[in-house]
Structure formats: structure tokens, C-alpha cells
Structure 1
Amino acid sequence: MFDFLKVEAPRLTPQQIAHSFRWLGWIGFWLQSVLGVIPILVVLTTVLFNPKQRQSSGLSFGLWLAIACLIMLIFSIYWSFRYTQLSASLETALLRPAKSQVLRNLKLGLFANFGTMTIAVIIALTRVGELTFKMLTLPQGATVVVPHQIGTTVAAPGTLITPSNMIAIQAMINAIASGLVGAVIALLLLYQVGLHRNLDA
């Protein structure tokens, strides 16, 4: 009874694991690169070309979080590329690293992607909360599109929701999606490496 629960998953050879590292690494690298374009451009533009974000004591806490998220995002993109390099070592018995070292690399990539998602979610919750509060302060039925446009109600300065706000939200969503892609790939590779008792064999 319930003998089907005792069926073991097929063990993968080091060559099969290396193949998975190569194609999953490239998939992760390109997907994260495409998703990471908007967050990278938004943060760099804010830091380099928006002096309003700079306070007398330095950058705001939110911008520091965005910079930390950007650094972790760039690292996770690089780490996906590193999986493709690791695949070459896994294919050659003389260069093949120990299973513990491979697991450490995968766990580091997993933590980096979880870190990216965590910081991006914190920033998104804060930013969307601010925009929601601004919307709630507008008069009921008011429409705010462009300042001084005829037929619209313009609230106090600073309460307008601009295209830059929407681009920032899109950047946060992209950062979360990029971290999710990297985390899923790291988990898939961790599972495959776990199916092999010893990569040195």
C-alpha cells in the first residue's frame, strides 16, 4: 500500500547537471537583464540627474534602499551568468568542484535574489502607500492630469501623480520579477544537484 510514494527520483549525471546549469543560467541571465533595465535606469537617473532627491545631509533613506536593491539586482544577474561558467567545470572531472561548493554558490544566488525581492517589496509598499494617501487627499470626483489644464482640479503642489511615479512603480515590479526569476532558477538547480550524491563521481 502506498508503494508509489517510495519511488525515487532518477539520479542525474554530472553532465546532465552541467547542461541544466548552462541553459538555466542563460535563461536567468537574459530574463533578469531585460527585467532589470528599467530599475537600473530609474535609480541611475534619480541619483545622477535629479538633484531634488539629494538632501543637505545626503541621499534619502528610500533612495539608499533603491541603491541597495540595484546592487543586489546587478549581482544576481552576474550570478546567473556565473552558472553558465560553472557548467564548464561540472562537465570536466578534473575541474569539477565539490558538491558542497556548488550548493554554497546556489544558496548565495538564492539569498541575493530573495534580498532583491525583499527590498523591492519594502520600497513598493512605501511608495504605493504614499501615492494612495495623495489620492485620498484629493477632493471627491477630482481629476488631476496636468497642472493648469482647463476643467481639472489641481490639488496642492506635491500631490500630483506624474508619469515618473508610474515608471517608478514599474521599476519596482520589474525588480521583484527579476528576483523571482533568479530564485526559481536557483531552486531548480538546488533540486537537481540534490539528486546527485556526489558530483565527483
Structure 2
Amino acid sequence: MKMLNLYDEALLMFNFLSSSTNPQHLARSFLWLGRIGLILQIFLGFIPLLVVVAYVLSQSGQGLIGGFSFGLWLAIACLIILMFSIYWCFRYTNLANKLRKAETRPSKSQVVRHLQLGLLANIVILIITVIIALFRVGELTFKLLTLPQGATVIAPNKIGTTLATPGALITPSNMIAIQAMLNVIAAGLVGVIVALLLLYKVGKQP
């Protein structure tokens, strides 16, 4: 009987220790994955932000609304959501501090909802950016198809040359725009991976 009581006490102590250490491991996961997501999304979102700001400034002389296309509005909305995702990765690091303390520790359902919102934001980023990329790359592909057969140089027309019509040109700004879209897709993918990893770790907790 005494041995049974000792076994029960040891089992209770083990359960107590495991429940007290698991949130600490989870807090470290939130801290490090939140930092990684924050740094990568800031790095990847820098070029798209510069591209959109430069284009908006170049269109300022044409009127704020009239110079904006539907694709540009989508790009601006996507960048706003990306900035929210960057802020949400920062919230992951704040959540790590709350998980360390029993008195400030949120419930499992609250943590899951927090992660689901971050996951949803990054999925929306991916959807919007892929739609923009499909239309933009399709437009550039159509321009390439209008070039003369066997043409190897794509450059603005000069006097006395007939390389291509002005509407069929691919400029460096087009390639910068494609790079910006790839960066946003990569940033959204980082956010999705971070949220899924944290959801997996939270799901393993009792």
C-alpha cells in the first residue's frame, strides 16, 4: 500500500513537471519561429514595398484614383495584409512571453485562434499575389509572342530601327515587378509555414 502511494505521488509529480515544462518549450518555439518569420518577411517584403511606393509616386501626377488600376489596388491590399502578417509574427514573440508565466498564459483555444488568423492572412496573401502574377506574366508572354520570329533583343525603338512595336516591349521595370511578386509569394509561404509549425506544436500540448 505504501509502495502504491509512492507510485501515485511520483506519477503526480511527473505530470506536474511535464505540464510546467511543456509551456516553456512551446514558448521557445513561439519566440524563435516568430523571430524567424518576422525577419524573413521584413526582408522579402522590402522590394515589393519599394516597387509599389515608386509606382504610386510616378502616378501621382495623373490623379490618385484615375492613375490606379485594379491590379495596383490588389497589390496595395496584398502589401497591407503582408504588413499585418509581419506584425502578427511580432505578436508570436509577445505570446511567447505570456506562455512562460502561468498567470498570463492564454488558453489553448485562444492560441489556436491566434495562429489561425495568421495562417488565414498569409493564405490570402498567396491567393492575391498568384492572381496578380498570372495576369502580369500572361500579359508579358503575349507581348513576347508579338515580337518578330527569331528576335533576340528586346529594347525600345530607336530612330531607323524596327525591333518591335512600343506595345510589345519588356522593360527592366517589368522584371522588377515579377521579382517583387515572387518576394511576396515567398513571404506569404514563410508565414504559412511558421503558423502551421506552431499549430502542430500547440496541437501536441494537453
TM range (shorter): 0.7 to 0.9
More helix by share: 2
**Mapping of 1:1-201 within 5 angstroms?**
13-51=22-60, 57=66, 59-142=68-151, 143-148=153-158, 153-197=162-206
**What is the alpha-carbon distance in structure 2 between the residues aligned to residue 32 and residue 133 of structure 1?**
32
Q: How far is 1:141 from its partner?
A: 1.5
For the Cα contact (< 8 Å) 2:85–2:121, is it kept in 1?
A: yes
**What is the alpha-carbon distance in structure 1 between the residues aligned to residue 140 and residue 90 of structure 2?**
36
For the Cα contact (< 8 Å) 2:115–2:198, is it kept in 1?
A: yes
Structure 1 residues 112 and 95, CA gap change in structure 2 (3 angstroms) = same
**What is the alpha-carbon distance in structure 2 between the residues aligned to residue 153 and residue 99 of structure 1?**
66
Structure 1 unmatched runs, 5+ = 1-9
Q: How far is 1:148 from its partner?
A: 1.4
Q: How far is 1:57 from its partner?
A: 4.0
Structure 2 unmatched runs, 5+ = 1-17
Higher-Rg member (1/2): 2
Q: How far is 1:54 from its partner?
A: 5.8
Q: Output one character per residue of 1:34-67: Cα deviation in whole Å (capped at 9) or x when no partner.
A: 0010111111111122348868745211011101
Higher relative contact order (CA 8 A, sep 6+): 1
For the Cα contact (< 8 Å) 1:17–1:192, is it kept in 2?
A: yes
The CA RMSD measured in Å over matched residues stands at: 2.1
Q: How far is 1:157 from its partner?
A: 1.6
* Code of the aligned partner of 1:97: P
